[in-house]
C-alpha cells in the first residue's frame, strides 16, 4: 500500500516536471499566435506621423526624413531593422517602437536601426 502511494507520487512529480519543461515552448507559441492578432499601426497615429512611419518604404517623405535617401537609405526597411521582431521580408510583425501593434516588413520609420547580421 505504502509502495503504491510512493509510486503514484513519483509519477505525479514526473508529470509536473515534464509539464514545466514545456512551459517556455507554450509561452513562445502563445506570443507568436498573439503577435499575429495584433493590429497594424495606423499611419495617421500621432507617434507614427512623428516618426514618419509608412507601410511602404517607397512612400517615405524623404524631404522630411532624409535618413532614407541615397543608396544606404533605400535599403532600409522594417524587416532589416533591429527593432523588428521577426525575420522575413513579407507580412508584418511587432516592433518595440509601437507596443501592441504590428508594422509591415516593407515599411519604414525614422527610428530605423540596422539589424546585426
User: Cα angle at 47 between 86 and 113, to 5 degrees?
Assistant: 40
**CB closer to ligand SF4 out of 10 and 115:** 115
Q: How far is the CB of 53 from ligand SF4 (least distance, A)?
A: 5
Residues at the interface with ligand SF4 (CB under 6 A): 53, 78, 81, 83-84, 95, 97, 103, 107-109, 111-112
Closest separation in Å from C-beta 17 to ligand SF4: 39
Q: Which residue's CB is nearer to ligand SF4, number 58 or number 112?
A: 112
Do residues 78 and 103 lie in contact, with contact meaning Cβ atoms separated by under 8 Å? yes
Assign 94 to helix, strand or coil: strand
**Closest CB to ligand SF4 among residues 16, 66:** 66
Q: How far is the CB of 92 from ligand SF4 (least distance, A)?
A: 10
Coil, strand, or helix at residue 51? helix
Residue with grid cell 514618419, as numbered in its chain: 52
Positive or negative, the CA dihedral 84, 73, 51, 108 is negative
Give the integer Cα–Cα distance in Å for 40 and 43.
9
* 8 versus 45: smaller Cβ distance to ligand SF4: 45
Q: Least distance from C-beta 95 to ligand SF4, angstroms?
A: 3
Amino acid at each position: 500500500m505504502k509502495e503504491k502511494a510512493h509510486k503514484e507520487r513519483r509519477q505525479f512529480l514526473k508529470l509536473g516536471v515534464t509539464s514545466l519543461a514545456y512551459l517556455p515552448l507554450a509561452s513562445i507559441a502563445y506570443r507568436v499566435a498573439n503577435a499575429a492578432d495584433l493590429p497594424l499601426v495606423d499611419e495617421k497615429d500621432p507617434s507614427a506621423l512623428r516618426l514618419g512611419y509608412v507601410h511602404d518604404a517607397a512612400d517615405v517623405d524623404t524631404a522630411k526624413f532624409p535618413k532614407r535617401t541615397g543608396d544606404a537609405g533605400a535599403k532600409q526597411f522594417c524587416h532589416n531593422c533591429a527593432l523588428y521582431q521577426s525575420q522575413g521580408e513579407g507580412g508584418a510583425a511587432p516592433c518595440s517602437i509601437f507596443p501592441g501593434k504590428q508594422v509591415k516588413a516593407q515599411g519604414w520609420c525614422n527610428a530605423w536601426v540596422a539589424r546585426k547580421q
